[in-house]
């Protein structure tokens, strides 16, 4: 069930929200920089491993990422008297202030440019959260998958939240159709679509996904089986790293990689850390959007292993390549990065595509009624 819901549910990590809410071309982000009295200049930035701020923030909750950026900005200004002269007296520092600081203090250009970039990104994400009513929507999404909400709450949301976009209403109904498929039998689905004021074409996406979900997955959804931890995938990779995959289920392509005991060869695999940081499961009572510094996503920083990626990876063990047929999401990328830190081996995730929610919905529509 998680594989079907993960592409449409709102995940609240910095990376996921960038690719969900902002118009990005792959990892390319376009933003504007003020140039005094002249027209703003458009700039392009790549959100990738060479950006230490991106590495630090990408898997943190958006609230935590925003707080960290604010702290970094204030710390920089407080330690630089010249920067204080170019910020507004006693007021909140803006990205325009930071851009003036770059012009006045060119020696800090790259450092402040990166900070300005991510403050701009976080600001846009937080505006989208407010304007689209995503806090209430995110709460309802999680209540649905854990069985704490039903038809009454969905109908109330569709009637009362006029600022919900068509895409967000469709994503909500897709989740509802997965966890409560009986509510879409007969003409019930059409009535919900009419209430949401969605075109009939959108029903193709809901029907396609309903047919893809097994009955066992639907039972898991109602029993509170939802998590964005991808425990099954993590367990598989961890067993591979330790050489514990049974050869009768996962046959080896090479004789040299097998043992007489019938498990995949693990002699060359580095041993996992003795005391890895525990990965706490999400509380089903606290939605992702409300998580702060105590959430799993914000406790650890990728920078410990990935800050100097090219050098660190040379010292790690053999890579593990994971390929997901049919598409992957930002959530699975997050899990791969965290496994890299935990196992001290580079986990390389590949897929036929990395889908954001709109792309996934288009694929569902293309499947057709069959």
Over residues 223-240, the pLDDT tens digits come to 444 556 677 888 999 999
Task: Please tell me which residue, 38 or 121, carries the higher pLDDT value.
Answer: 121
User: Residue 168's CB: how many other CB atoms inside 10 A?
Assistant: 21
Burial class (CB in 10 A: 0-12, 13-18, 19+), 5: buried
| Distance in angstroms (rounded) separating the CA atoms of residues 126 and 339 | 29
| Residue 228 DSSP class | S
CB 129 within 8 A of CB 139: no
| Distance in angstroms (rounded) separating the CA atoms of residues 315 and 329 | 28
Is residue 322 scored above 60 in pLDDT?
A: yes
CB 126 within 8 A of CB 62: yes
Q: What is the mean pLDDT of residues 246-255?
A: 82
Share of the chain above pLDDT 90, in %: 41
Closest alpha carbon to 233 in 118, 93, 117, 349: 349
CB 33 within 8 A of CB 97: no
If you average pLDDT over every residue of the chain, what do you get? Answer: 78
Over residues 7-25, the pLDDT tens digits come to 999 999 999 999 999 989 9
Is residue 211 scored above 60 in pLDDT?
A: yes
The H or E element spanning position 38 is strand 38-46
Identify the residue whose tokens are 């609230």: 63
Closest alpha carbon to 231 in 167, 281, 166: 281
Collapse the DSSP code of 153 into the 3-class scheme (helix H, G, I; strand E, B; otherwise coil) and give the result. helix
Q: What is the mean pLDDT of residues 87-95?
A: 58
Q: What is the mean pLDDT of residues 246-274?
A: 57
Model confidence at 367, pLDDT cuts 50, 70, 90, reads confident
* pTM (two decimals): 0.76
User: Residue 330's CB: how many other CB atoms inside 10 A?
Assistant: 22
Domain boundaries, the chain: 231-357
CB 233 within 8 A of CB 335: yes
For residue 261, the model assigns a pLDDT of 38
- Residue 312's Cβ-side half-sphere holds a number of Cα atoms within 13 Å equal to 15
Over residues 292-304, the pLDDT tens digits come to 444 444 334 444 3
| Distance in angstroms (rounded) separating the CA atoms of residues 38 and 40 | 6
Is residue 68 scored above 50 in pLDDT?
A: yes
- Which residue spans within the chain are E strands per DSSP? 28-35, 38-46, 317-324, 345-351
Collapse the DSSP code of 315 into the 3-class scheme (helix H, G, I; strand E, B; otherwise coil) and give the result. helix
Is residue 244 scored above 70 in pLDDT?
A: yes
Tell me the Cα Rg of the chain.
Answer: 23
Longest CA span, the chain: 74
User: Residue 360's CB: how many other CB atoms inside 10 A?
Assistant: 20
C-alpha 189: how far from chain center: 29
Over residues 96-151, the pLDDT tens digits come to 666 666 666 666 678 888 988 999 999 999 999 999 999 999 999 999 988 899 99
Collapse the DSSP code of 278 into the 3-class scheme (helix H, G, I; strand E, B; otherwise coil) and give the result. coil
For residue 95, the model assigns a pLDDT of 65
Tokens standing for residue 248: 């009768």
CB 173 within 8 A of CB 206: yes
Task: Please tell me which residue, 317 or 343, carries the higher pLDDT value.
Answer: 343
Share of the chain above pLDDT 70, in %: 68
Dihedral sign for Cα 19, 21, 25, 27, please.
negative
Distance between first and last Cα of the chain: 20
Q: Which residues are paired to 35 by β-bridges?
A: 38
Q: Which residues are paired to 353 by β-bridges?
A: none
| Distance in angstroms (rounded) separating the CA atoms of residues 370 and 349 | 31
Identify the residue whose tokens are 């309903």: 210
Task: Please tell me which residue, 102 or 180, carries the higher pLDDT value.
Answer: 180
For residue 73, the model assigns a pLDDT of 85
For residue 315, the model assigns a pLDDT of 63
Tokens standing for residue 17: 């929200």
Is residue 178 scored above 80 in pLDDT?
A: yes
Task: Please tell me which residue, 18 or 1, carries the higher pLDDT value.
Answer: 18
Question: Residue 61 — φ and ψ, nearest 5°?
Answer: -60, 145
């Amino acid at each position: 069930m998680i594989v079907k819901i993960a592409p449409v549910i709102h995940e609240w990590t910095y990376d996921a929200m960038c690719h969900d809410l902002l118009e990005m071309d792959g990892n390319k982000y376009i933003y504007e920089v003020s140039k005094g009295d002249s027209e703003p200049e458009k700039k392009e930035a790549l959100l990738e491993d060479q950006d230490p701020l991106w590495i630090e923030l990408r898997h943190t909750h958006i609230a935590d990422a925003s707080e960290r950026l604010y702290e970094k900005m204030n710390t920089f200004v407080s330690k630089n008297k010249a920067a204080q002269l170019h910020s507004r007296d006693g007021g909140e520092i803006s990205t325009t202030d930071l851009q003036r600081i770059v012009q006045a203090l060119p020696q800090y250009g790259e450092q402040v440019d990166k900070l300005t970039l991510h403050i701009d990104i976080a600001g846009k994400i937080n505006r989208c959260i407010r304007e689209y009513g995503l806090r209430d929507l995110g709460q309802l999404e999680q209540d649905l998958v854990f069985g704490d909400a039903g038809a009454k709450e969905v109908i109330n949301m569709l009637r009362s939240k006029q600022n919900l976009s068509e895409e967000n209403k469709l994503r909500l109904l897709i989740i509802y159709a997965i966890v409560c498929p009986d509510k879409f039998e007969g003409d019930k689905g059409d009535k919900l679509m009419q209430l949401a004021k969605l075109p009939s074409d959108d029903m193709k996406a809901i029907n396609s996904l309903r047919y893809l979900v097994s009955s066992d997955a639907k039972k898991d959804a109602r029993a509170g089986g939802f998590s964005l931890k991808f425990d099954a995938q993590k367990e598989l990779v961890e067993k591979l790293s330790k050489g514990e995959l049974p050869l009768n289920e996962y046959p080896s392509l090479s004789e040299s990689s097998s043992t007489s005991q019938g498990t995949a060869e693990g002699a060359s695999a580095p041993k996992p850390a003795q005391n890895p940081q525990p990965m706490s499961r999400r509380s089903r009572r606290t939605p992702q959007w409300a998580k702060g510094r105590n959430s799993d996503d914000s406790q650890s920083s990728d920078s410990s292993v990935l800050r100097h990626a090219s050098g660190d990876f040379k010292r790690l063990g053999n890579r593990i390549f994971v390929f997901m047929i049919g598409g992957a999401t930002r959530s699975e990328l997050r899990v791969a990065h965290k496994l890299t830190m935990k196992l001290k081996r580079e986990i390389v995730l590949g897929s036929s595509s990395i889908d954001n929610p709109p792309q996934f919905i288009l694929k569902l529509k293309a499947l057709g009624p069959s």
